[in-house]
Amino acid sequence: MLLTPEDITAIWLSLKIALTATAIALPFGFITAWLIVFKTFRGKIVLEVLINLPLTLPPVVIGYFLLLLLGKNGWIGELLNKSGFPVIFTWKAAVIASATVGFPLLVRSIRLGMESIDLQLIEASRTLGASWPDSLLTIILPQSLRGIIAGSSLMFARSLGEFGATIIVAGNIPGRTQTIPLAIYDYASSPSSGKMALTLCIISVVISVAVLLLHEVLGKQLDRRSFL
């Protein structure tokens, strides 16, 4: 194998960051989608624009905003530093970058799932004695599972490929914050490391295919067990 110890760390780090970002974003994504689909409130359009903004902005711009926020003199950065929990230029910053960039994809998928739920199903549950949180957990959540799975896969895959925002807030420190795309970028910059870059590219493809397959399998399982 052509992998150096740093490469292996980069692979694990990529998986860890993508998984953590998806896991953290999931509950927020679910609640946000629910708010957008089922609730009417002032400023809903503002919320929608804000959520979708990372889709249209260059990731570098998002990274820069996050840097302003989380950096030494940023609002949150200062607070985090004081409490002895620095985030900037650590893998945690990469998680935040990935979560921000992938969030709109997650919300969009869950939202599509929720929009296909028949409102009368929810009304039926309410008249049968379910409070709204109960209805959210027992009707909306299971009925949105397909959207949740699709959104999580998309977001996980997007996080694996995250580059622009990550390099700005987490840097490109081999063994600490260097993920697969950052490592590939490094290799690609030096003329002698073409093979190393290619190896990591192949590993990227393998992971992506695995994610897509997992998505398909989970979807099929859901079809089969839909009534349990």
Partner 1 sequence: MNLHIDLEKKLGKFFIQVKTEVSGERIGIFGDSGSGKSTLVNFISGLLPPDKGEILLDGECLFSSQKGINISPEHRRIAIVFQRPMLFPHMSVQKNLLYGYQRCRAENKRIKPESLIDLLKLRPLLKRGIENLSGGEKQRISLGRAILSSPRLLLMDEPLTALDDTLRYQIIPYLRSVSEEFLIPYIFISHSLTEMQLMTESVLVINNGRLVEETTPEGLARNRMAKSQNGYLNLLPLTNPVDHNGLFAYRWGNNTLQVSDGQLNGNGLFELSSREIILFKKHPEAISARNLLPARVMEIFNSDGRVGIVLSINGEKLIAEIVRSAADELDIIPDTSIFAAIKASSFRRLA
Please report whether residue 78 would count as binding partner 1 according to CB under 8 A: no
Please report whether residue 129 would count as binding partner 1 according to CB under 8 A: yes
Q: Applying CB under 8 A, which part among 11-19, 70-78, 128-136, 203-211 lies near partner 1?
A: 128-136
Q: Which is nearer to partner 1, 4 or 226 (CB)?
A: 226
User: 94-123 mask for partner 1 (x: CB under 8 A)?
Assistant: ------------------------x-xx-x
Please report whether residue 219 would count as binding partner 1 according to CB under 8 A: no
DSSP 165-217: HHHHHT---TTTT--HHHHHHHHHHSGGGHHHHHHHHHHHHHHHHHHHHHHHH
Tokens linked to 23: 């896991």
Q: Which is nearer to partner 1, 190 or 226 (CB)?
A: 226
Q: Applying CB under 8 A, which part among 1-9, 11-19, 139-147, 181-189 lies near partner 1?
A: 139-147
Q: Applying CB under 8 A, which part among 39-47, 63-71, 125-133, 162-170 lies near partner 1?
A: 125-133
Residues that bind partner 1 (CB under 8 A): 118, 120-121, 123-131, 134, 138-139, 142-143, 226-228
